[in-house]
Amino acid sequence: MPSQTLNQHSSSDPGSQISSSDLIMPSSPLPTRNTAADVNETKTATPTEGFPNEVSKEATNGIPNEPSDQPTNPRLIALQAKKANLEAKLAALKSERLTLATRTKLPSGLAIPNEWTNEEKLKQALLSSNAVIKEHIALLHRYNEIKDVGQGLMGLIAETRGVRVVVVQEEYGMGEKD
């Protein structure tokens, strides 16, 4: 059909000529663009025109668009494989999330009741996790405050003795990362 369209457009009528941007280059991965003349000639042009893996509703007698054979575009194949991989990972993560939620304990230390719905279990697991995270952050703040006081004291000791702080740390058995 493209050769017929080209022949019809090669007439002397200047309004029916195809611009060079409408022609498909052999290495071009993009679908063809339809001109207004192409739509009028074919009368079955649809938004799926130019996509080889989709069939128009008119061509299938009103059945919605469905992919036909396997795609031939390598980029499309790679994207479909990536999508399938991500969907599999998502399903695995949802399963793991539910498993972890059922193993979570209440703040009292008791197990979550089996009568609770999965949504209630997930909500409680999230609350318990947030409580643990907040406790860890509070402990880290406390540790950093104590460490700052200790380093300040070692700095004062080093200053009064006239030595470097590293010497005082070695004297008390502390390394640079302690």
Residue range 121-174, pLDDT digits in tens:
888 888 888 999 999 999 999 999 999 999 999 999 999 999 999 999 999 888
Query: Quick check: 68 and 55 in contact, CB under 8 A?
Result: yes
Where do the domains of the chain lie? 108-178
Query: Quick check: 94 and 86 in contact, CB under 8 A?
Result: no
Instruction: Please report, rounded to a whole number, the percentage of residues in the chain having pLDDT higher than 70.
Output: 60
Q: Which amino acid is at 136?
A: H
Instruction: Please report, rounded to a whole number, the percentage of residues in the chain having pLDDT higher than 90.
Output: 31
pLDDT surpasses 80 at 45: no
pLDDT digits (tens, 9 = 90+) for 91-108: 999 999 888 888 888 888
pTM: 0.45
